[in-house]
């Protein structure tokens, strides 16, 4: 699967069960009520499903606090 910002937004939207369009590149965890510790685990789970357990190779995802942080950590891990 190709890593794109739009795909990450789609995965986060699905994981947090919010309406499409709520999550943007500039969205931070503090902007979304459901992006708490459990929400973050849901995000990591969806990313793992989409990208073959990438979170094992990407410890920066655990502390990512925005869509941009998640995307950049994945780009670094995948070497894109």
Distance CA 8, CA 2 (A): 10
At a CB cut-off of 8 Å and minimum separation 6, what does 9 contact? 23, 24, 25, 67
Position 80 scores a pLDDT of 53
**Per CATH, domain 5-78 is 1.10.1200.10:** yes
pLDDT tens-digit profile of 1-23?
689 999 999 999 999 999 999 99
How is the chain split into domains, by residue range? 5-78
Distance CA 76, CA 63 (A): 14
Query: What torsion, rounded to 10 degrees, do the Cα atoms 58, 54, 4, 67 define?
Result: -50
The verdict on pTM exceeding 0.75 is: yes
pLDDT tens-digit profile of 34-74?
999 999 999 999 999 999 888 888 888 999 999 999 999 99
């Amino acid at each position: 699967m190709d890593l794109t910002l739009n795909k990450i937004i789609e995965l986060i939207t699905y994981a947090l069960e919010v309406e499409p369009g709520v999550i943007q590149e500039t969205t931070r965890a503090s902007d979304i009520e459901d992006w708490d510790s459990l929400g973050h685990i849901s995000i990591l789970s969806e990313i793992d499903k989409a990208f073959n357990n990438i979170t094992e190779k990407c410890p920066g995802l655990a502390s990512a606090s925005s869509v941009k942080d998640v995307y950049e950590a994945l780009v670094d891990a995948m070497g894109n």
